[in-house]
Amino acid sequence: MKKQSTKTKAQGKLRGFTVTELLMVIVLIALIGSVGGGLYVGTYKKMLVGKAARDIVLAAKYARIMAIEKQRPYKMEFDAGNNGFHLTCSSPGEQTEAVEQVIVRDLYFKPVQFGGDVKFEGIEITPLASETEADSGELTGITFQPNGTAQFAVIQVGDGKTHYTVSISPATAKAKMFFGTAENVKIGTVDLDAQG
């Protein structure tokens, strides 16, 4: 008889959750999840815009280095319709002596396609000195020269809320990334003689 009474006492101490308590926990988890999810989506969209701008900067650095190393022009071509860009370089044809433009695909670079709602919001490129205004039309690419120079360019990418601007210096072909729109970024030429 003693064994039965201890079993009954042990069973009396065990207690489960009520339906109300379970529902309260579920509602609390749902609230925390919805707040966290909203923050995550906003942060993810901002990250995509920043990644697109960094991709442009890295591609510009790569194009500059390769143009100097290979001693031939490299061009960064923008495809605003498909929200992406690629690099091209001139290469002699395998079957003919004619020089043809080849899209660069190697271990260090491949064509870039923006993710999410990221798109080009503005592209301004100055024509090369050798190009006439009739030849240049609407420029869709930046040429990096073998002497370490490039066309002056300002590229703005964004998703309607977040904006990044990339500028490329003509004298050094170096790219810089700024947070904000092109109007908010102070971009100018540097007078090397005045710097003494």
Q: What is the model's pTM?
A: 0.71
Phi and psi, residue 158, nearest 5°: -175, 180
pLDDT score recorded for residue 37: 67
Q: Which residue has the tokens 């009739």?
A: 134
Phi and psi, residue 31, nearest 5°: -65, -45
Structure token pair of residue 152: 């002056």
Residues 166 and 124: their CA atoms lie apart, in Å, by 11
Residues 101 and 143: their CA atoms lie apart, in Å, by 12
Q: What is the pLDDT of residues 15-51, one digit of tens each?
A: 788 888 888 889 888 888 777 666 666 788 889 999 9
Q: What is the pLDDT of residues 47-72, one digit of tens each?
A: 999 999 999 999 999 999 999 999 99
Structure token pair of residue 102: 């080849």
Alpha-carbon distances of 107 from 28, 62, 76, 82, 87, rounded to whole Å: 48, 12, 17, 23, 13
Residue-range domain boundaries for the chain: 26-184
The CATH code of domain 26-184 reads 3.55.40.10
Alpha-carbon distances of 70 from 66, 151, 176, rounded to whole Å: 6, 19, 23
